[in-house]
Structure 1
Amino acid sequence: EEMEKQAVDGARRAFNSGRSRPLQYRKQQLSALLRLIRERQAEIVSALKRDISRSEFDTPIFELIGIENDIKLAERNLADWMAPQPVKKTLLTITDDVYIKAEPLGVVLIIGAWNYPWSLTLRPLVGAIAAGNAAVVKPSEVSKSSASLLKELLPQYLDTEMYPVVTGGVPETQELLKQRFDHIFYTGNSTVGKLVMEAAARHLAPVTLELGGKSPCYIDKDCDIAVACRRITWGKFANCGQTCIAPDYILCHPNIQHRVIEEIRQTLLEFYGEDPKTSPDYGRIINQHHFDRLLALIEGCTVAVGGESDKSQCYITPTILKDVLPHARIMQEEIFGPVLPIVTAGDVNEVIRFINERPKPLALYVFSSNKKVVRRMLNETTSGGVLVNDVMVHYTINALPFGGVGNSGVGRYHGKHTFDQLSHHRACLIKSLAMERLNMARYPPMTPSRLRTSMFFLRSRSGSCDQALRAWAVVSSLLALALLISLLVVLLRVSAHAGLGSVLL
């Protein structure tokens, strides 16, 4: 308990010192974080190999490039993000300074996840640093090697007081959640997400919760099924299915189910060979608890492809389940493993109804060449993100906000969205003490004429306000011109009086 409190108190003292507010400090810390992931890539790859049997080629693609892109984007644009953002003026504020200023929130708690322990921990940290916050970093204890390495490396590159790392399991996380934070950023499951939100409520702290869920993948009869299945196979079985936005289940018409199964079977052969267990590109389940959970989910279902397992290695072969019923156990919770159920549905109406009867997913995938079908799926469903004719790659575009809705999460991040999420957007209005007569209409004693004057200035105007501002600019220019002419006339008269008029003229 003392360790967690010391970390939080130290981070708050460091934040209160004000040193994280200047642009130069933030950029220096971001640059140091970029050096960390570049200089220590081999160690990071090795840790992930031990944690989750991650391929050395997958780590740069799935984890490190996203962190690097977020850092570079922040370094290029941070001065603009920090600058006051002017807002449209009204008749009331025509002579005032009106703007929004992004300010640091304070001390942020970042609780990372085990499936992508670097990306899901450091990308929020990039935004926290860019926004000028202090941050207590709590990596997931499930990815032991990565958590240990992060604890070792981060203090070698970043300000140790401003960005402490706290390791440990559930007791340490519970102690951290007792402390006061100005924002809590958690990635994980909805059960723990509710506990995080409950803890945050005690201090009225805002939260960002990235929670996942069952992301549907609809395959329309009117599409290139071979291409669709190749992309789905990649997204589902990368990282052994342990990805929050992996396609959780397929929805398709009964007439194409057999074709879908065969296309996925051929793609698995192409990706991982006859025995995926020997493929360097196919991973393992994180631990035996999750291994047992996944095998229990498969029970009672019809296996079309795969189904083999080896508990000693936490290995489950890529598995496809066919004719899965909506009430089956595997359809009641996020799978988070290399098991892909196929649920058949008649037409697009039935598909939309099926999706809308369930909690709002983190991602929705639609494969179709029919624009009307795509438009209906976009307009008549909701999800954290939606991707048409591909899977997962929307996560790589940091111009798009990443986050859930409803049961799949609260808040959004990536790129500038993380900066905005971890900033307080302060409303600023700077007025003058001059021209007090314009304010008389709002002061007592109130009269009908004062009320009319007040209402005139307070009433919202769309186009007319812009016209009024343009008119004000024209009037101001004319007044300035008239003043200039008056001054010139006065100068000419003075000069003539002094006998120098002929020279000036």
Structure 2
Amino acid sequence: MIKKDIKQFQMVDTPMEEIPKIHTSLRETFSSRKTFPIAYRQHQLLQIARMLQENHETFSEAIFADLEITGVGGEKSYVEHPDLAEPQKVWRPKIVPTPKGAVLVISPWNYPLILSIQATIGAIAAGCTVCLKLSEVTSNYAGCLQQLLPKYLDQDMIRIVCGGVAEITKVLELKWDHIFYTGNGMVARIISAAAAKHLTPLTLELGGKSPVIVDPKCDLELAAKRTLWGKVTNSGQICVSPDYVLLPPSALTGYLNGLKKAYQEMYPAEQGGALKSESYAHSINLQHFKRVKALLEKTNGKILMGGRMDEEELKIEPTVVLVKEGDVLLEAETFGPILTVVELEEEGFVRKACDWISDRDHPLVLYLFSTDEEIQKEVRRYTTSGGLVFNDTFMQLDCKVLPFGGVGESGYGRQHLAQTFEIFSYERSTVDIPAAAEPKIALRYPPYTEHSFNIECAPGLGVNIPESTPEGGLIV
């Protein structure tokens, strides 16, 4: 088995009776305004960076034991640009970014480090207190962070909750000021229902079936290589993984040959292919392995490439399946190394592909391989998706300046750097009306006479008055 235990970092379920106490503690800290000073927030963020730098090998071992290795980058901008939290002036009034309060971050198992730390960084930058619920599926990483985080960060400001269904159910009974969830639509509905009881705002980072449209005039070999890379990354266990490909019959042979060539380059057959490669991730656990295996057993499609499995190592070879509408592989997000291919009619192919996508749930991201600007415009106009990427897959996650998120079934809310800060804060409008303004606004007070209503307003004062009073005195 690839998996190994990190004995010194065993996850410990949070005692049920401790969860309400954690909630109360975080609320008390926020009420004290301890987290409001910019210097305090900067220090906590620098401590996160220090924790990751000083323990990167430990985190790598723990995450490898669970699933994969990843990293966090770009979020240091919160420390470098504290002006995000400064009041924004609009004429004389101000808009003050204000932290929402005690927030809940629920992270998934597929990218445990980045998807737990990224949202947490935004919440701390905003000035919130944080309850971080880690996935019990990646127990090695959870145990690692559970022990290391208290050594670096103020526990008055952030607390970790570990455990399964019982623990998260208890957490969701409590009132939070914002909930940030990354995961799937089924669980998102449960979280949304719990949040609705308290009118708690939500950010939902979900997934769905992210499609790939292949223009037959594009570089089919390059398109296939870049699609395959996006699919094999973390063995397809990521929300932006290309799920299915739409192409016309004229492109199928060239595209398939490109996939086979790219697979051979990435995982040479003479070295055992993907199943024997240390550069290829395994399924997170036996349950997910069997779920993906069952999809391949149920499909009526034709396997064009791959299909081998190693249950002991929890690995499924990257598999390409040609299917027709109605196949089981088109029903829900595969979240595994299966790339489904669907042929659409040659004539009017691009518009047919757009209609196919529009007839289904809005995807988190839509990939198009085409250098034709008119085709790009057509796809942009006739489809809806959280993101739209031309001529590559997965790489949009490296563009930290771009807001990331879904639409409809793929979620709502946007994150990445400034957007994550904005998630956990709100724009508080403030205005200070000086006493010196009283002569200029005196007309608002009763009694309302005919003279009052005949006075015209001047720009920029709210109410305007003439340059002189009826008695001839000047207004200053």
Q: Kindly state the Cα deviation for residue 350 of structure 1 after the two structures are TM-superposed.
A: 0.3
Residue 290 of structure 1 pairs with residue 294 of structure 2: no
Three-state SS of the structure 2 residue aligned to 1:203 is coil
Q: Kindly state the Cα deviation for residue 15 of structure 1 after the two structures are TM-superposed.
A: 1.9
Q: Give the whole-Å Cα distance in 1 for the aligned partners of 2:422 and 2:96.
A: 11
Change (3 A) 1:448 1:226: farther
2:172 aligned to which of 173, 177, 191? 177
Partner of 1:74: 78
8 A Cα contact 1:34 1:68, kept in partner: no
Partner of 1:491: none
Residue 257 of structure 1 pairs with residue 256 of structure 2: no
Q: Give the whole-Å Cα distance in 2 for the aligned partners of 1:443 and 1:254.
A: 77
Change (3 A) 1:453 1:42: farther
1:144 aligned to which of 133, 139, 150? 139
Q: Kindly state the Cα deviation for residue 454 of structure 1 after the two structures are TM-superposed.
A: 6.5
Residue 83 of structure 1 pairs with residue 86 of structure 2: yes
Change (3 A) 1:10 1:459: closer
Identity over aligned residues, as a percent? 36
Q: Give the whole-Å Cα distance in 2 for the aligned partners of 1:459 and 1:218.
A: 55
1:391 aligned to which of 369, 390, 393? 393
Q: Kindly state the Cα deviation for residue 355 of structure 1 after the two structures are TM-superposed.
A: 0.7
Name the stretch that deviates more: 185-194 or 216-225: 216-225
Taking structure 1 as the reference length, the TM-score comes to 0.84
Higher helix share: 1
Matched AA of 1:238: T
Partner of 2:371: 369
Per-residue deviation, residues 385-420 of structure 1 (Å, max 9, x unmatched): 111111111112221111111110021111011001
Q: Give the whole-Å Cα distance in 2 for the aligned partners of 1:208 and 1:444.
A: 47
Matched AA of 2:23: V
Segments of structure 2 that go 5 or more residues without pairing to the other structure are: 1-15, 465-475
Q: How many residues are matched?
A: 441
Per-residue deviation, residues 107-139 of structure 1 (Å, max 9, x unmatched): 111110100000011000000110011001111
Q: Kindly state the Cα deviation for residue 359 of structure 1 after the two structures are TM-superposed.
A: 0.7
Q: Greater Rg, structure 1 or structure 2?
A: 1
Residue 162 of structure 1 pairs with residue 157 of structure 2: yes
8 A Cα contact 2:115 2:182, kept in partner: yes
Q: Kindly state the Cα deviation for residue 349 of structure 1 after the two structures are TM-superposed.
A: 1.0
Partner of 2:361: 359
1:400 aligned to which of 379, 399, 402? 402
Partner of 1:196: 191
Segments of structure 1 that go 5 or more residues without pairing to the other structure are: 90-96, 461-467, 469-482, 484-505
Partner of 1:125: 120
Q: Kindly state the Cα deviation for residue 437 of structure 1 after the two structures are TM-superposed.
A: 3.7
Partner of 1:492: none
Q: Kindly state the Cα deviation for residue 310 of structure 1 after the two structures are TM-superposed.
A: 2.0
Q: Give the whole-Å Cα distance in 2 for the aligned partners of 1:444 and 1:366.
A: 65
Q: Kindly state the Cα deviation for residue 458 of structure 1 after the two structures are TM-superposed.
A: 9.1
Matched AA of 1:86: K
Per-residue deviation, residues 447-500 of structure 1 (Å, max 9, x unmatched): 67645656775999xxxxxxx9xxxxxxxxxxxxxx9xxxxxxxxxxxxxxxxx
Change (3 A) 1:441 1:293: same
8 A Cα contact 2:267 2:277, kept in partner: yes
Q: Give the whole-Å Cα distance in 2 for the aligned partners of 1:307 and 1:230.
A: 18
Change (3 A) 1:98 1:217: same
Q: Give the whole-Å Cα distance in 1 for the aligned partners of 2:357 and 2:88.
A: 40
8 A Cα contact 1:277 1:317, kept in partner: yes
Matched AA of 1:396: D
8 A Cα contact 1:107 1:181, kept in partner: yes
8 A Cα contact 2:355 2:382, kept in partner: no
Matched AA of 1:171: A
Taking structure 2 as the reference length, the TM-score comes to 0.89
Residue 240 of structure 1 pairs with residue 239 of structure 2: no
Name the stretch that deviates more: 39-48 or 436-445: 436-445
